[in-house]
Amino acid sequence: MRRIDAATLKGWIGDGRELAILDAREDGEFGRSHLFWANPCALSRVELRARALLPRRGVRLCCVDGGEGGLAERLAAYLEGIGCTDVSVLAGGTRAWEAAGYVLFSGVNVPSKAFGEWVEHHYGTPSVDPVELRAMQEAGQDMVVLDSRPLEEFRRMSIPGATCVPGGELVYRIGELAPRPETTIVVNCAGRTRSIMGAESLRRAGLPNRVVALRNGTMGWELAGFDCDRGKTASFPRGTPASLPTALARAGAFAERWGVRAIDRAGLAALLADGSRTTTVLDVRDPEEYLAGHLPGSRSAPGGQLVQGTDTWVAVRGARIVLVDDTGVRARMTGGWLRQLGGWEVHVLEGGLAGPLETGPWLPDCPEAAALSPATVSPAELAAALEAGTAQVVQLSRSLDFREGALPGALWGVRTRLAALRPRLAPDRRIVVAAPEEAVARLAVPELEGFGIAPVAVLAGGVAAWKAAGLPLHADRHDPEDADCIDVYLRPYDRNDGVEAAMREYLSWEIDLVHEVARDGDAHFGEVEH
């Protein structure tokens, strides 16, 4: 296995060739300290995530861990096993990187969040603080408050009177949401990035309205002593807006300014056939639209979320990204920002939804899970076994999801690290694995069988089937405790203690990112050759 030093990897990052840096640690561990351009690729989900991030197996790869030893090597071995041909390991991991004098970053989606701070500085995005916004509302000012997060986040907490309009929809739908140029538009999110990007998208599109970001979002609102709404569902009107021609003209000018290219189906086929480059195909529409019908092989990546968290979908620096939507507005706006953020070669697929379409969610190929044939139990059978005391559940949901909905008596665990549960497993009860994805549950079976404690089976249909059967779930914000949530990087409002201090620390961290990025030197925001 090839090992490289920090100086070599630093050189690779800046040499202009395709490169993916994958960190083998769990997302919570990754979030404590990592390289700027690294993507989390936790061993617990590597069979699913690696294939999604690496559509081309010949891409140059470097595997990283925290220097604790072994995790990066295991990831590298797996990647070589699925056919990756250019795999290296950073000797000494992040410790060696820091020892060489290079910068490490905390947090998640760091390139996108740093880009948001750069955008605010570069374009001079105007903002209002919560006190100003409250005064504007109380004065009855002609205004709209648009929350640029997905509806799931909006439901948890929102500014009173706000409407949910995820960032990728803003330019597309603003003609219906604020048809009068006299209307002030306030864009917010939970913190800063999506507020800034949403407001600046409208400004870059040439909207005549006054457009401002809400400084520090819902966190700033609560820190100012104001209450957020909970459970609201006010959302943008569905369907193609009547103002489409105006929106398309605005988005087209923005995309052209930043070198976004248009291609047709034949052009896409040529890109996919080119084995020398990586091509990723992403559908930037609303998730509901994607589920109803999408280009075969494309993945759902709603435009605002894609810009907010590029490392969720794109790992390869220098790759080609092909964006798909129905009218071209959302793809063009997203593409213009991606060009400025990472310099990727970005294409918009014309007519991408003509012809046969797939429905439902995108599911990664996982031959490792398909090769396993574990015993299964139905939700009704498991419920009866739990009542009789003959079964026990290991649930592999995300820790935050487990807190909100655990099967009765379930133990929470992370696959590849289930040895921590061994002392808590009873030898006289069958172990049933429940997970959001059946593939993850199947992959955990050999690990649990290796303990030699009890027979192991999989809950057919997973947690979703249990819910659909109307069976009970248990909620407990302290199971697991904050310190044990290694699989996620906790947001301030996910924490059980010190929430206000965590909010202030998070907002300060975001603001300071632009200075840390300058010190690191590996991001070149806005430096795009046309």
Closest by CA to 112, choosing from 303, 319, 331, is 303
Helix (H) or strand (E) holding 368: helix 367-370
Closest by CA to 263, choosing from 213, 172, 331, is 331
The predicted model gives 461-475 an average pLDDT of 97
Share of the chain above pLDDT 90, in %: 98
> Per-residue pLDDT tens for 371-417?
999 999 999 999 999 999 999 999 999 999 999 999 999 999 999 99
Asked if residues 222 and 228 have their Cβ atoms less than 8 Å apart, the reply is yes
> Per-residue pLDDT tens for 73-128?
999 999 999 999 999 999 999 999 999 999 999 999 999 999 999 999 999 999 99
How far is residue 188 CA from its own chain's centroid? Answer: 19
Please give the class, per CATH, of domain 2-108. Answer: alpha beta
Closest by CA to 36, choosing from 150, 143, 95, 114, is 114
Cα 350 from Cα 332, distance rounded (Å)? 11
How high is the pLDDT of residue 530? 54
The fold adopted by the segment(s) 116-237 is Oxidized Rhodanese; domain 1 (3.40.250)
* Cβ neighbour number for residue 288 with a 10 Å cutoff: 10
How high is the pLDDT of residue 68? 85
How high is the pLDDT of residue 69? 76
> Per-residue pLDDT tens for 267-301?
999 999 999 999 999 999 999 999 999 999 999 99
- pLDDT category, 53, cuts 50, 70, 90? very high
> Per-residue pLDDT tens for 55-67?
999 999 999 999 9
With a cut of 90, say whether residue 364 has pLDDT above it.
no
> Per-residue pLDDT tens for 500-522?
999 999 999 999 999 999 999 99
How high is the pLDDT of residue 529? 58
> Per-residue pLDDT tens for 237-272?
999 999 999 999 999 999 999 999 999 999 999 999
Please tell me if the domain spanning 2-108 has the same topology as the one spanning 116-237.
yes
The fold adopted by the segment(s) 249-349 is Oxidized Rhodanese; domain 1 (3.40.250)
> Per-residue pLDDT tens for 431-460?
999 999 999 999 999 999 999 999 999 999
The predicted model gives 47-72 an average pLDDT of 95
Asked if residues 214 and 147 have their Cβ atoms less than 8 Å apart, the reply is no
Asked if residues 112 and 193 have their Cβ atoms less than 8 Å apart, the reply is yes
Cα 430 from Cα 27, distance rounded (Å)? 30
Cα 299 from Cα 449, distance rounded (Å)? 34
Looking at every residue in the chain, the average pLDDT score rounds to: 97
Q: Where are the domains of the chain?
A: 2-108, 116-237, 249-349, 369-484
Cα 317 from Cα 346, distance rounded (Å)? 12
- pLDDT category, 325, cuts 50, 70, 90? very high
Cα 47 from Cα 325, distance rounded (Å)? 28
Please give the class, per CATH, of domain 369-484. Answer: alpha beta
Cα 20 from Cα 372, distance rounded (Å)? 30
Secondary structure string (H, E, C) spanning 264-297 = CHHHHHHHHHCCCCCEEEEECCCHHHHHHCECCC
With a cut of 90, say whether residue 309 has pLDDT above it.
yes
Closest by CA to 411, choosing from 467, 375, 419, 374, is 419
